[in-house]
């Protein structure tokens, strides 16, 4: 552990070469060592998450607690070494530590050390589940990038419409929740407005746990209206996203003729469909 | 309170100036005082709703009842003053009071005063939740207006299709409800046709509380059909709305004729469809 | 009652005039008497359905049973007279009686007469709910016809795709139902394969009553897969219908230029966007 | 049984003719004998599945067990003969046996024979349900092929987008499951992280069985967020599939160039985008 940071202290040039090489291995994803590092990291993250998940099962914990304990410390030490390596090779360690992934990397190792001082903090190890987001970062560099970008662009462009939709839903949830609290009241499980609002969200999203249900006739009539409203507005985010995605997909497939200005040519078009001019230079864009 | 209305009585000119200024502050949203008024109003509405919501939680009510009581009266007096101000500055007070937002503003203050005379009317304060709709009115004036309009236009244009869809749903609910009442009967929870219809809506909207479930084999077979029908027709409002929205979005990307002002030309149009003028310079935009 | 049929027997000409007039009133929907007949019929159908629905509520039945009994016979006699009138005025009574609406009209009056001979058949009156479909027939003639037709065309054109989708769903239901029966078994509520298949439909359609739930770990893992599959394939009918509806909507809004063959002009286009030729004769189609 | 294989051993030429004829009957679907074989096979598969399904119902089993036993052996022998016939007529029997349908055909007959040696293996007969997939194979050859292909192409093309979507869902399920395990804990039914993840899938897919529900206030708040997230992302696979299907459908309505055979020209194309030839006569179709 202590051998990982010195190079940058007494031997700057060698340290720089060492740092540059590891920086390349950690942050590049397109040559053999970089890809090997990615695979090892993904396997380690998935294994550590798997251990935390299995350790929470009472029957497995009673049988394999010592094994899980050892594995947890192996992963903690591995991730600590990885964290120190990342801090050592980046140019601005503080900026990295305050970035989203820096915080996640720190939170992934901290809980294990806290268990040495505080009883009960071992449950915090599940925060390590957040590290799984790093897998998405690695995938972002690969061939899924185009597809994910298109989905992301469609989401970003429908952002405002979805915000309007969510505020409408929350207003309806507040109004319906308050009304159901008045109609059904605490004796039927609608013990407070926040609880009625929880029920209204359960109902409007068509989840319908059934832990709270209307018992009065008026309550069941209002519930019928709430469900039909919820059912009808499923259409809204779907419609927004489908329309945006269709536009995104069409936009990436189209070329415009430079001679007559006719747009929406397929990507494999060599000639304009309106005037017959060659489109070939336009394809080189 | 009594100082807010006199100006319009003894000093018309000064009153007019005073009224015009406040009318501008209350109903305009694009200069500093107007925006400040909007922000204060939104904060007050959200806080008053929050107080009503928290007051309904039994544990918080037993602890903080006096605080909630004081806050409720603070909001009641504030909203009363605001209501008087609105009545004072608008040109046709009666028309305002009979408008949707006038009724909501009145209903937001009335219940608190009623509690002075009638026991139990304090629950009506939750009607104040409707005031949250005023927030949408303010937002309507801001940059969300274009997006909200597009959603609204798509909804309006799919109005008739959605009405046909809702009548079909309600007819199916009536027929399936009556059949399930015949098949399952009161001994399995289907105690009346209205209750069976409530169950049919719960099932067709895929909410599925589970408070009433079929117990006979024939009932479970019919339920399977009802669920598959409900599942398949989720497609209908979504399809209607997505298709309308896609049309709306395409319309905003279109070219307008500079000669006759006719809009919504396709991007590849060379001539205006209304007057036959060449659109080609318009394409260069 | 007996006076309604004779005309067609001894006085053909007068009978013919009488029949023609009533045929016009009953089957036409665009002049004053026809519309009056439609309104009276819709009100009578909705009222008779309402009476049957309310009569099924135990508390209302115990209070208002005699009123409901009288009303039911009033509707029965009215609908019987209407049925006789329809048979009298149509040219092929047998063909009408074997048509869908003929059968429904007969079933709407038969159960009341059966109660005179058989105890318990009064429940069959709910079959009258099917008469509500006649309302759709009347609406079909009015301004909703264009919208309903478009929805109907889109449904018809997606018929085969939806059939393939339903067979896939049913195959998955069979396979998942059989597997869950093997895994969970009767001790966890999966008492037979048909019941497991009912549960699989409840789960895949995301209804989720909760009357039967998996208790074993393997069962919950398979359930997770079933739910994700069900969730993903909600997309399929929605996508099919949205795509068909978008095509239908685009098709109805488009005019083709007779001079250059350029299609997809908006309905309000007077000139071709490709060559500037007048489109006006094309609009007269 | 033993008479089915010899031909290929001592009389090659006659065997070849015999094999070719049966190969044609079994694997062709467009002449009378082939279609008869298909119909008999579909009826046999559906009947055998129906027998297994009905046999699992306790009340029917106690009444009709001997009949079901006989029928099961009839189907087992029939399917064994069919399997031997298939092995005999195909050119590469091993390749067939290792193919998906070969394995399914073998699994369909094996469990019945195993019951002769092992008690309890009769439940494996439900594996026969997989044979129902062969029906799809037959349908693939018929007029549904075009429609099914379009659905399949749209699914294949949205494959990567749906994979990204599923990984996002599973990551959210892991994170939400771990958080709910920490918040609610074993005393409220969230007894382990895998069980919490099962609950998170039940909730995000809007199934909502209600076998496990949040009881703490913080848990209900997080559940509200999980449900709104789940509700919003229903939009994603639907949008992906609808957009892909709309593209597929548009592609089939396009004009093909008669000179170079390049397809998928827009309806308003005047020149082939591949070779520049005029498409105008093609538009007159």
Task: Please state the domain extents for chain C.
Answer: 8-140, 143-252
Residues of chain A with pLDDT > 90, as a percent, come to: 12
How many Å from the N-terminal Cα to the C-terminal Cα in chain D?
A: 57
Q: Of A208-222, A269-283, C116-130, where does mean pLDDT reach its minimum?
A: A269-283
Chain D nearest-CA distance from B189, in A, is 19
Instruction: Give the architecture (CATH level 2) of A8-140.
Output: Up-down Bundle (1.20)
* Mean pLDDT value across chain A: 76
Question: What ipTM was reported for this prediction?
Answer: 0.75
Band (C4; pLDDT cuts 50, 70, 90):
very low
Which residues 228-247 of A are in CB contact (within 8 Å) with C?
A: 238, 242
CATH pick for A143-252 out of 1.10.287.70, 3.40.1190.20, 3.20.20.140, 3.40.50.300 = 1.10.287.70
pLDDT in tens, C147-183: 667 777 777 777 777 777 777 888 889 889 988 988 8
How many Å from the N-terminal Cα to the C-terminal Cα in chain A?
A: 51
Band (C120; pLDDT cuts 50, 70, 90):
low
User: Which two tokens mark A279?
Assistant: 């489109």
Nearest to D269 among A56, A166, A273 (CB): A273
The reported pLDDT for the residue numbered D167 is 78
Contacts of A240 in chain D (CB under 8 A): 235
On whether any CB of chain D is under 8 Å from the CB of C206, the answer is yes
How many other CB atoms sit within 10 Å of the CB of residue A63?
11
The string of DSSP letters for D71-86 reads: HHHHHHHHHHHHHHHH
The reported pLDDT for the residue numbered A285 is 34
Q: Say whether D210 and B206 touch across the interface (CB within 8 A).
A: no
Chain C nearest-CA distance from B156, in A, is 13
| pLDDT of residue D237 exceeding 70 | yes
Residues of chain A with pLDDT > 70, as a percent, come to: 71
On whether any CB of chain D is under 8 Å from the CB of A197, the answer is yes
pLDDT in tens, C257-275: 666 655 555 545 566 666 6
CA-to-CA distance for D238 and C150, rounded, in angstroms? 22
Contacts of D173 (CB under 8 A, 6+ apart): D197, D200, D201, D204
| pLDDT of residue B65 exceeding 80 | yes
Q: Which residue of A has its CA nearest to B238?
A: A235
pLDDT in tens, A4-61: 444 444 445 556 788 888 888 887 777 788 888 888 888 888 888 888 888 888 888 8
Chain D nearest-CA distance from B108, in A, is 27
Contacts of B209 in chain C (CB under 8 A): 209
| pLDDT of residue C10 exceeding 50 | no
Q: Is the pLDDT higher at D144 or at A118?
A: A118
The reported pLDDT for the residue numbered D220 is 93
* Mean pLDDT value across chain D: 76
Q: Is the pLDDT higher at B122 or at A47?
A: A47
Q: Which residue of C has its CA nearest to B197?
A: C53
Residues of chain D with pLDDT > 70, as a percent, come to: 72
Q: Of A105-109, C150-154, D122-126, where does mean pLDDT reach its minimum?
A: D122-126
- D interface mutation test: which of A45, A46, A52, A53 has the most D CBs within 10 A? A53
Asked if C50 and B178 count as a contact pair (C-beta separation under 8 A), the reply is no
Band (C196; pLDDT cuts 50, 70, 90):
very high
Chain C nearest-CA distance from A72, in A, is 24
Nearest to A206 among C206, C210, C238 (CB): C206
pLDDT in tens, B241-284: 777 777 766 655 555 566 665 555 555 556 665 666 666 544 33
* Mean pLDDT value across chain B: 76
Band (A91; pLDDT cuts 50, 70, 90):
confident
The reported pLDDT for the residue numbered B147 is 66
Residues of chain C with pLDDT > 70, as a percent, come to: 72
Which residues 141-170 of B are in CB contact (within 8 Å) with C?
A: 160-161, 163-165, 167-168
Q: Is the pLDDT higher at C183 or at A118?
A: C183
Which three-class secondary structure string do you get for C260-276? CCCCCECCCCCECCCCC
Contacts of B266 in chain C (CB under 8 A): 264, 273
**pTM, whole model, 2 decimals?**
0.78
**Between vectors from CA B78 to CA B72 and to CA B82, what angle results, nearest 5°?**
140
Nearest to A209 among D210, D247, D264 (CB): D210
């Amino acid at each position: 552990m202590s051998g990982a940071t010195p190079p940058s202290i007494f031997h700057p040039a060698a340290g720089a070469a060492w740092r540059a090489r590891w920086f390349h291995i950690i942050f590049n994803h397109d040559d053999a060592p970089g890809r090997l590092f990615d695979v090892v990291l993904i396997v380690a993250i998935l294994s550590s998450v798997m251990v935390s998940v299995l350790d929470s099962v009472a029957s497995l914990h009673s049988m394999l607690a010592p094994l899980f304990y050892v594995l947890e410390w192996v992963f903690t030490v591995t991730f600590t070494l990885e964290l120190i390596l990342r801090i050592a090779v980046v140019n601005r360690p503080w900026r990295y530590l305050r970035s989203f992934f820096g915080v996640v990397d720190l939170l992934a190792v901290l809980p294990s050390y806290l268990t040495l001082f505080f009883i009960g903090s071992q449950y915090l190890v599940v925060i390590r589940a957040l590290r799984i987001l790093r897998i998405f970062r690695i995938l972002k560099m690969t061939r899924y990038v185009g597809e994910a970008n298109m989905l992301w662009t469609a989401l970003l462009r429908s952002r405002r419409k979805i915000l309007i939709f969510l505020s409408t839903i929350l207003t309806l949830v507040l109004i319906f929740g308050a009304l159901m609290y008045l109609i059904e009241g605490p004796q039927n499980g609608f013990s407070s407005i926040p609880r009625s609002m929880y029920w209204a969200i359960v109902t409007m999203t068509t989840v319908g746990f059934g832990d709270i249900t209307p018992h009065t006739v008026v309550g069941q009539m209002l519930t019928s209206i709430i469900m039909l409203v919820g059912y009808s507005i499923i259409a809204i985010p779907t419609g927004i996203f489908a329309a945006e995605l269709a536009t995104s997909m069409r936009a990436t497939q189209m070329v415009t003729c430079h001679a007559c200005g006719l747009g929406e040519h397929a990507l494999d078009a060599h000639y304009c469909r309106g005037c017959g001019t060659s489109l070939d230079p336009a394809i080189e864009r």
